[in-house]
Each structure stands twice: as C-alpha cells, then as structure tokens.
Amino acid sequence: MNIHDRIPADLLRSELAADGTRPLVTFYDDATGERVELSVATLANWVAKTANLLQDELAAQRGDRAALLLPAHWQTAVWLLACSATGVVADLGGDPGDADLVVSGPDGLEAARACAGERVALSLRPLGARFPEPPEGFTDYAVAVPGQPDTFAAYDPPGPDDAALVVEGATLTGADVLERARADAAARGLGPGCRLMSLVGYDSWAGVSAGLFAPLAVGASVVLCPGARGLAAADLAARRESERVTHFAD
C-alpha cells in the first residue's frame, strides 16, 4: 500500500513497483476446469492494453460510463482497473441503454445491444480466447486487445473525486473505493502476503471488494472461485490448502 495512491488503478501501479513477479489474481472456472494465475506484472500488462483500447480505439473519455455485464472473472478485474486508469465509470451490471459503452460476456449480449455506443464482447473462454464466430455489432476483445501498447498514459487523468464505480446502484469515487477497500481489508485482517479465496460474485460491493479491491489495497492476493459453491467440502478444502489460502469469503 502506498499513501500516495489516489484511485484504484494507482494500487496496481504501486504493487508493480514493489514486486511485479508475485501472484495477484488466481481464477478458477469450475465449469471448464480452467485455472489462470496472473502475476502483478501480467495483470498490469492486460490493464494497460485494455486502457489503451478504451482510450484510443473506443474513444472513451473521463466521465463516460461503461456498463459491465460480466461475472466475477479475471478479465472483469482487468476491465475494472482499466476503467479506473482512463477515468471511465465502471457500472457493474448497469443498464446498457443508459451507458456510453458496454462490455459484455456471452450471457449478456442480447441485453448489451441496447447500448447506442461502442459494444465490446468477451468470450470468457479459457486463456482469453476469441469467439468462434464474432458477435455481430461487437468488438471481440480477444481480437482487439493483443495489439495494444504495453504501457498506458491517460490523456485526461482521473482524480480521486471523480466517479469511478457504480455498484448496487451507488456511485463511488476513486477515493471512496480506496477508503472502503482499506477498511474491508482491515476488518478481514488482510495484510501483505495474505491470500484470500472468494466465492462471491462481482454484483455487490462485498463481492468486488473481497474479489479484488481489498486484497489489492494491502499487498495481498486473491483466489477467485465464483463457481465453487457446488464443490464437495473436501475438494474445496483441498483447493484452499493447495492455494495456501489464509482468508476466505463466501
């Protein structure tokens, strides 16, 4: 944690400066058997590329609102931090008809067509693969993002008092997100080196805090397992042991 962090994207920059090699986000898809582990540096690279896509190709500006029709997923974490870096307001589960742009997984594509602005589709397939058939009217994220630059600089940098996140109908500034994340981390007893396993979705502050912001705010890491509620108790316990989990959120 850096006392000079002002917005959520700053948290990632501080962690990158401290130790880019350590694991930050580990994601399990229990429907496909996928396990993905992203170091701080790898996540930061995805965030930079996505922020460049937002700013340069999608022409998103500070204050624009992006409806994120996405589940708890490592790519959703990327989009949340990329939105923060550009000053785009990430509206989790927001109405695409009222948004400047929409980012959707496969399950939200029909609803996403209500957006009159740019539409981005994520296949959410293993390894971030592209759609077998690109959805008509959408930019396929897996096609568009690899060629983006690996470093990012905002043309109009957001500040701590700018709106950053809409969750459960509440609009939070960048400063609000950091304050809440740090408070949640303290309440959970999280600190540097801790490893939190979260089974909670990203449709609430509790879920997005446990699944990203609280661990990131204090130098901890997260194991995202949104589909693990159906696992046998012994299997879940074995995963907790293998992932060296120190804290748990369900």
First-residue to last-residue Cα distance in the chain: 25
For residue 235, the model assigns a pLDDT of 96
Residue 129 pLDDT greater than 90, yes or no: yes
Residue 2 pLDDT greater than 70, yes or no: no
Which residue is listed with tokens 């759609």?
131
- Return d(Cα 115, Cα 202) in angstroms, integer: 21
Contact 10, 44 (CB under 8 A): no
74-105 pLDDT per residue, tens:
999 999 999 999 999 999 999 999 999 999 99
- Write out 153-178 in H/E/C secondary structure: CCCCCCCCCCEEEEECCEEEEHHHHH
Contact 212, 185 (CB under 8 A): no
Pairing of strands 195-198, 221-224: parallel
Q: Residue 49 has which token pair?
A: 């590329």
Which whole number is the average pLDDT over 51-66?
98
- Return d(Cα 177, Cα 90) in angstroms, integer: 12
Which residue is listed with tokens 């990632």?
12
Edge-first strand order for the sheet with 139-140 is 139-140, 118-121, 101-104, 65-69, 89-92, 163-167, 170-173
Residue 1 pLDDT greater than 60, yes or no: no
Pairing of strands 34-39, 118-121: unpaired
Which residue is listed with tokens 């805090």?
209
Phi, psi of 101 (to 5 degrees): -155, 165
For residue 4, the model assigns a pLDDT of 76
- Return d(Cα 191, Cα 18) in angstroms, integer: 14
For residue 48, the model assigns a pLDDT of 98
Residue 199 pLDDT greater than 70, yes or no: yes
Residue 186 pLDDT greater than 60, yes or no: yes
What does the angle CA 56 – CA 84 – CA 188 come to, to the nearest 5 degrees?
Answer: 155
Which whole number is the average pLDDT over 208-212?
98
Amino acid 113 reads R
15-28 pLDDT per residue, tens:
999 999 999 999 99
Q: Residue 220 has which token pair?
A: 């901890």
Question: Domains along the chain?
Answer: 8-249 (3.40.50.12780)
Amino acid 164 reads A
Which residue is listed with tokens 């397939």?
125
